[in-house]
Amino acid sequence: MGAPRTGHARGVAQRSCPPLRGRHAAGASQRLVPRGRHRTPRRRGDQRHHRRRPPRIRRGVSVRTHLDHTERVRAVLDPAFAALADETELIAVHDPALAGRVAAHAVVSPIPLPPFDNSQMDGYAVRVADFGEFGPGARGVTELRIGRTTAAGDAAASHEAGTAAPIMTGAPIPAGADAVIPIEQADPARFTELRRADDPAPRGTVRFRAAPAPGAFVRPRGSDLAAGAPLIAAGTRLTPARIGLLANAGVTELAVHRRPRVLLLSTGDEVAAPGTPLGPGHVGDANTPMLTALMTGLGAEVSAHRAPDLPDAVERVLAAHGPAADLIVTSGGISAGAFEVVREVLTDHGVEFGGIALQPGGPQGLGYWDPDGARVPVLCFPGNPVSSALSAELFLAPALRAAAGRPERLPVDTRELAHAVDSPAQKHQVRRGRFDAAGRVHLTGPSSHLLADLAAAELLAHIPLGVDHLPAGSPIEIWRLDV
Ligand SMILES: Nc1nc2c(c(=O)[nH]1)N[C@H]1C(S)=C(S)[C@@H](COP(=O)(O)OP(=O)(O)OC[C@H]3O[C@@H](n4cnc5c(N)ncnc54)[C@H](O)[C@@H]3O)O[C@H]1N2
Ligand code: MOO
């Protein structure tokens, strides 16, 4: 479904960003209200119906929808992240640093998995033919001499006809045996004679009440993966199971994509460094560790810096750390105040700033920092912590997830609102909330300083552009934070 278009004529980064492509990465939010529902004539006093108002977007003030902005951000970030695939590094499969990285190439298995036929159970390896007239599955007592024991780690033995050879889980099936009977199904149901290769010959017998099917409890060579079959495809994220699989197949190191390097710059005279006592008018720096955690968790390598509201200080951080970055992310200093240092400095570099029809996250900046032809993508987020966090989730996280081989979006669902809610019709509002015992959605306040509510949130709820009221019981699209 398409986004409601706002018909803006000017916009953020129109000149400095590549042309739009047909992405609708955030388009799911537009499914919030069922199609046509708002077209049904509303009866007076019908409280179950939401109110949809035509969005009022002020012309000429660079306002665009969050979907428009998403497309523009992706047009900047996707090529930058795609270029990282050209640079690879080798990481040992047993190095914990491999977790979450992205394989640069496809890898095929040099061996079959498992590499040899082996037992799925502790029990006796047998030949089905030794069960004579009873045949597979038939009942009747068969007594066999006890053969030599094979344990996990032993080389495959040779099976002597007419014996039941003790075998442990994972041990190679002796050549000639074709089934395993679990010890619980033997009589006696415990090992009475365990003689390994170099021990004296085993003695005694064991009885079975049923003949096994050929292949019973045998894990055949190659039954997990054939030799030459793909272990992982190029672009695959290294999950724990994939790392285990590579190691199981004997792969010792792997070429992975280089991680995106992000320069994070948090600005504000009031933003206190960690560990410093809060002076008057100061606030603890929430955004630096919050955005660092988000980006690191999505596979980026973050170099975080703080600068006061002084253009020279911002320029210094950019000059020192910008050239090594694949992306520059800033927090704060971009709205309408008198000391908007990020906006001031980066406008001079060609980054464009404007308003998005989104709350929180209205002010945004997008473009490139390009002092010496470096052309480093720049994303500027507003300083309010919830605005910064949601901007990162809406605009940056999907691109990082795509680069990291993950699903781009948080899990999406539609739930019932537990209470009525109002929203500014001229903005797409992203609210935070929790589920009640019945799975209905309770929203917390809309303000972008409510970080404690975000920290406790189980969901982000979307109230689309044009909707100014949703009655209790309305379906509402949510993005799950609790999974
Ligand atoms: N006249 C207008 N004023 C504002 C508008 C507007 O359109 N017209 N937009 C408002 C909106 S919406 C937002 S969001 C903020 C964004 O402002 P900035 O990006 O310039 O951010 P700052 O002013 O630097 O900070 C805003 C707020 O956030 C706190 N902050 C900043 N950095 C951090 C940090 N690292 N950790 C914790 N808290 C931080 C800062 O102290 C401010 O309270 O502008 C509105 N104003
Ligand atoms: O956009 Mo601001 O983020 O609403 O508070």
The residue whose CA is least distant from atom 44 of ligand 1 is: 335
**Cβ atoms 264, 131 nearer than 8 A:** no
The CB of 446 under 6 Å from ligand 2? The reply is no
**18 Ramachandran zone, left/alpha/beta (phi>0; psi -120 to 50):** beta
**Ligand 2 atom closest to residue 387's alpha carbon, by position in its atom list:** 3
Ligand 1 within 6 A of 333 CB? yes
Per-residue confidence (pLDDT) for residue 346, from 0 to 100: 97
**pLDDT of res. 194:** 97
The finding on whether 268 has its CB within 6 A of some atom of ligand 2 is no
Which CA distances in Å does 74 have to 6, 319, 347? 19, 25, 20
> Looking at residue 6, what is its pLDDT?
30
pLDDT at 373: 83
**Cα 201 to the chain's mean position, in Å?**
57
- State the pLDDT at residue 338: 87
| Bond preceding residue 41 cis, omega within 30 of 0 | no
CB of 309 closer than 6 angstroms to any ligand 1 atom: no
Q: Is the backbone of residue 43 left (phi > 0), alpha (psi -120 to 50) or beta? A: beta
Q: Which residue has the tokens 């998403």?
A: 70
Give the closest residue to 224 by CA, choosing from 86, 117, 69: 117
In 3D space, the residue among 119, 128, 120 whose CA is nearest the CA of residue 164 turns out to be 128
pTM (2 decimals)?
0.82
Q: Residues 6 or more apart from 19 whose CB is under 8 A from it?
A: 75
SS3 (DSSP) at 111: coil
Does any ligand 1 atom lie closer than 6 A to the CB of residue 451? no
Spatial separation of the C-alpha atoms in residues 139 and 210, rounded to whole Å = 4
- Whether ligand 1 lies within 6 angstroms of the CB of 166 is answered as no
- Quote the pLDDT of residue 323: 95
Q: How far away, in angstroms, is 315 Cα from ligand 2 center? A: 25
From atom 4 of ligand 2, which residue's Cα is the shortest distance away? 360
What is the structure's pLDDT at 35? 31
DSSP structure string for 189-248: SS------TTSPPP--EEEEEEPPPTTTTEE-TTSSB-TTSEEE-TT-B--HHHHHHHHH
Residue type, position 413, single letter: D
- The pLDDT value recorded for residue 55 is 53
Is 354 close to ligand 1, i.e. is its CB under 6 Å away? Answer: no
Ligand nearest to the CA of 427: 2
Nearest alpha-carbon partner for 12 in 100, 73, 56: 73
Q: Output the DSSP codes for 264-275.
A: EEEE-TTEEPTT
149 vs 437: CA distance, rounded Å: 56
Residues 132-143 as b/e (b if ≥16 CB within 10 A, e otherwise) read eebeeeeeeebe
Dist. CA 20 → ligand 2 center (Å): 25
CA of 456 to the centre of ligand 2 (A): 19
pLDDT, tens digit only, all 483 positions of the chain: 233 333 222 223 332 333 222 223 333 332 222 232 333 333 333 444 567 765 554 444 446 999 999 999 999 999 999 998 889 999 999 999 999 999 999 999 999 999 999 999 999 999 999 998 655 555 689 999 999 999 999 999 999 999 999 999 999 999 999 999 999 999 999 999 999 999 999 999 999 999 999 999 999 999 999 999 999 999 999 999 999 999 999 999 999 999 999 999 999 999 999 999 999 999 999 999 999 999 999 999 999 999 999 999 999 999 999 999 999 999 999 998 888 999 999 999 999 999 999 999 999 999 999 888 889 999 999 999 999 999 999 999 999 999 998 999 999 999 999 999 999 999 999 999 999 999 999 999 999 999 999 999 999 999 999 999 999 999 999 999 998
Residue 448 beta carbon below 6 angstroms from any ligand 2 atom: yes
Dihedral (CA of 222, 228, 229, 234) sign: positive
384 CA distance to ligand 1 middle (Å): 5
User: In this structure, which ligand is nearest to the CA of 446?
Assistant: 2
Ligand 1 centroid–CA 286 distance in Å is: 13
Ligand closest to Cα of 62 equals 1
Q: Is the CB of 385 within 6 Å of ligand 2?
A: no
Residues in the chain: 483
Residue 80 CB burial class (10 angstroms; 0-12, 13-18, ≥19): middle
Looking at all shown ligands, the one closest to residue 273's CA atom is 1
pLDDT value, residue 374: 83
